[in-house]
Structure 1
Amino acid sequence: MAGMSVADMAGLFLRPDAPIRIEAFDGSSLGPHDAPVCIQVKNSRAVYYMAEHPGELGLARAYLQGDIDSPQLIPADPYEVFKGLTAVKPYVRRPDPRGLARALATIASHGIRLPHAPAIEGPSRLKRLSEGLVPHSKAGDAATVSYHYDQSNEFYAMFLGPSMTYTCALFDSPATSLEDAQKAKLNLVLDKLGLKAGDRLLDIGCGWGSMEILAARRGIHVLGVTLSQEQVSWGQEWIRREGLEDVAEVRLMDYRDVPETGFDAVCSLGMMEHVGIKHYPQYFAEIFDKLKPGGMLLNHQITRTNSYVGKSAGPFIDRYIFPDGQLASPGEIETKIHDAGFEVVHEENLRQHYALTLHHWNANLRSHWDEAVALVGEPKARLWGLYMAGCALNFELNTIQIHQYLCVRPGSDGTDAYPLRPWWDAR
């Protein structure tokens, strides 16, 4: 590009001593050859993406298309590059307005271009609203859940493994296998809920049915509901294959439409991210009404670390991963649980466990990379590697957490029916 080079443009935002190297298609470069991280700008489309959407959305578009890359990067698991980039953050600076104007003039001198977004990108919030998809309405939730989960069961199996469990696992140690850790998590939930054979469990956002299988093997009567047809098909077939139809069921149904009540317990594992913060009171009220007095809720969800940051997902997560997703802080959630009439019996943070879980998923994707690319295309395979590695790093940095709340619906005579001390193995 005439005028400023790509390296010059990058230099507007980076101090000269930043521990990063930039190499661009125009032959320009910035930073030492031995920098711990090297970012390659492969073509002009990457520049136009960044000019149109500076920040995470422009970067994501360029990365998913292969317009930016790194010699150190493994597309199935870009964690190490992300970790290296965290060291660059203190060296980022606000660009000089005159330099920024010159950069924009250089780009414009080659023509005003708005390159198409990757084909896998979902619609913006404004576009969804224009189509009548009100956030967290029944229609809006059905559309956004389908967008994320109705991809390909075969693709999800490549990184989730045989358990098909898409939530945080529970590790005794970093050496614990993913399958053992996922089984331990499901058993922990059932143990915390104090369920025994013959009891009734409602699983909200049941995924592919792993909870249904394990609970049914214990003799617990379990109903799982999800808004994903792909998950329902998988779960129903799994139940039939195990011969558990008399105690387990998976339905394509909004949790608000479940007609049954009087459950001994309700679990919700990784579903609250889709609910929307202003709908928390309705959500907990619905669960309260579905439980019998003395019944228990286990709510398991990703949270913000504090209450003063924004609640809604950024443009990358909103368009590519969880449309309309929102996260609240642990204290805000617990307040809503109490306000709904529940008593919180126990709460714990499994943040480190989710980082380990995500590293296992990235490793699984890496081992199935060629198959994944053949099945869903490289942009989508890159997307899941990017998303999972980024989440792993954010859990490690304590930017996000994951909390389990064990709650009881009080009876008319109070809630002193549960034991004085924890009744489950806390390992």
Structure 2
Amino acid sequence: MTTIKIGDAVADLLRDGMPVRFTAYDGSAAGPADASIGLELVNQRGLAYLLTAPGDLGMARAYVSGDLVVHGVHPGDPYDVMVLLKNRLRFRKPSATEALTLLRGLGLSHLKPPPPPPQEHLPRWRRAVEGLRHSMTRDAEAIHRHYDVSNAFYRHVLGPSMAYTCAVYPHADATLEEAQAEKFDLVCRKLDLKPGQRLLDVGCGWGGMVRHAAREYGVKALGVTLSQQQADWGKEAVDRDGLGDLVEIRHSDYRDVLETGFDAISSIGLTEHIGVRQYPSYFGFLRDHLKPEGRLLNHSIARHHNHREEIGAFIDRYVFPDGELTGSGTIITEAQDAGLEVMHSENLRQHYAMTLRDWGRNLVDNWDAAVDEVGIGNARVWGLYMTGSRLAFEWNEIQLHQVLAVRTSDDGADGFPLRPSW
């Protein structure tokens, strides 16, 4: 029987050639010898991950577990290697005969898939036992898995603003904190907030929007979040800022908000979590909680098309369980069908790429503290996820849209000036 070297086998399964230097635990290698970036497969478990889950998921499992080591880049920001690998490191599926020959050549009589890393959640179809998708119970669990990681960890990544949504850079050299403040202020300007008005912020995170709106525009603001840790941190920030008479942060599902007649509603980064099939009830709920001429600003990640497409296995299992994306056209259509008048839409795609760039820099700068807080596996997941997302925004695979809508009065009044004021 001919012995097959791992380097040759992996390179042969790639459709577009090996763009980096690949070395394996059997001493074999593939790819350019002078490459500045290298991948090292350190053990048989890593090989099993690559062969039993070809593509992004297998690579992610091997990388997160430490079985596939990247040389030449920082694990907190593996941008340079992912630029090389993106859309090139695609495994073709071997035939049954080819797979058997490969296993025998590698000295493996059988290949049982190893257990996935502990950071990986169940596949979507198996999570069905946890409850109906996007029920209140299952949504709360999905939010808990992602957001109740550690406020200290998020502080290391997000910076002082604790804003985990796309920033708006007023100029190319703006800092992340300047850009996050500009994002909140742009939302306030689009909503045309004025002192004494009432604002509802659904999916409020750590409370950045409600605190900015109260401090800068004098509104009374209610923020709701399904994350207990976010709510606790936000309440402390409200007290620290002396805004307790204007701001309430509530640990709650937005669907449990009973108050109505809000002058404005902001939804910044929530739509990705609620499920496309829930859009009619979501936008209907928001419309019903606005007073006539009240405005809604919906800020969300969107696809660059409106076709139905499942979120990738890595993001679904490691980052956003049950997350769903669609195009801005679908978002606008559903808002209109719920009785809202859409007044404006803006794509901030490049701004999100820049935001992710800066979060990656923060993770690199605070790497040791981040690892101490959540462990090396989780830290690797975050470096991988943020870098992959940055590339997706840069390459126009996903976008970020702010959609401004209004609940018109019965006689058609919308309260808008003839031209935008923000």
Match of 1:335 in 2: 333
2 CA distance for matches of 1:272 and 1:16?
36
1:346 to 324, 344, 351: 344
Asked whether the 8 Å contact 1:37–1:85 carries over to 2, the reply is: no
3-state SS in 2 of match to 1:244 = coil
Aligned residue identity for 1:422: P
Write the letter of the residue equivalent to 2:72.
Q
Q: 2:183 corresponds to which residue?
A: 185
1:230 corresponds to which residue? Answer: 229
Q: 1:58-73 counterparts in 2 under 5 A?
A: 58-73=58-73
CA RMSD of aligned residues (A): 1.9
Number of residue pairs aligned between Structure 1 and Structure 2: 421
CA distance in 1, matches of 2:81, 2:108: 33
Of residues 312, 315, 328, the one that matches 2:313 is 315
The CA deviation string for residues 250-295 of structure 1, in whole angstroms up to 9 with x for no partner, is 0011111100000000000011000101110010000010000110
Name the CA distance, whole Å, in 1 between partners of 2:118 and 2:87. Answer: 32
Q: Give, in whole Å, the separation in 2 of the partners of 1:416 and 1:115.
A: 59
Q: Deviations over 1:299-358 (max 9, x none)?
A: 000011112351x21221111111111000111111111101111111000000000000
Partner of 2:304: 305
Cross-structure match for 1:30: 30
- The answer to whether the Cα contact below 8 Å between 1:204 and 1:266 also exists between their aligned partners in 2 is yes
State the 1:29 CA deviation.
1.1
1:11-68 Cα offsets, whole Å, 9 max, x none, are 2223685433321111111122124643211111111112222222211111011111
Deviation at 1:74, TM superposition (A): 1.0
Q: Are the equivalent residues in 1 in contact too, given 2:221–2:248 (CA < 8 A)?
A: yes
Q: Does 1:141 align with 2:116?
A: no
1:379-427 deviations in Å (ceiling 9; x for gaps): 0111111111110011000000000000000101113431000011xxx
Inter-CA distance 119–18: structure 2 relative to 1 (3 Å threshold):
closer
Identity across the alignment (%): 48
Tell me what 1:176 maps to.
174
AA aligned opposite 2:231: V
Following superposition, the deviation at residue 146 of structure 1 comes to 0.6
**Aligned in 2, Cα 1:87/1:305: closer, same or farther, shift over 3 Å?**
closer
Match of 1:407 in 2: 405
> 1:77-96 to 2 correspondence within 5 Å?
77-86=77-86, 88=88, 95=94
Distance in structure 2 (CA, Å) of the matches to 1:371 and 1:6: 36
Q: Unpaired runs of 5+ in structure 1?
A: none
How far 1:219 moved relative to its partner? 1.2
| Other structure's SS at 1:63 match | helix
Say which SS state the counterpart of residue 70 (structure 1) adopts. Answer: strand
Structure 2 residue runs without a partner (length 5+)? none
CA–CA distance in 2 between the matches of 1:2 and 1:293? 77
Query: Which among 203, 207, 210 is matched to residue 208 of structure 2?
Result: 210
* Equivalent position of 1:393 in the other structure: 391
Q: Cα distance 1:146–1:17, how it changes in 2: closer, same or farther (>3 A)? A: closer
Mapped to 1, the partners of 2:162 and 2:17 lie a distance apart of 45
| Mapped pair 1:165 → 2:163 | yes
Aligned to 1:360: 358
TM-score scaled by structure 1?
Answer: 0.94
Alpha carbons of structure 1 residues 305 and 172: separation in structure 2 relative to 1, 3 Å: same
- Separation in 1, partners of 2:236, 2:370: 23
In structure 2, distance between residues paired with 1:195 and 1:167: 21
- 2:264 aligned partner: 265
- What SS class does the counterpart of residue 298 from structure 1 fall into? strand
Alignment of structure 1 residues 3-42 onto 2, 5 Å:
3-14=3-14, 18-35=18-35, 37-42=37-42
Look up the match of 2:102: 103
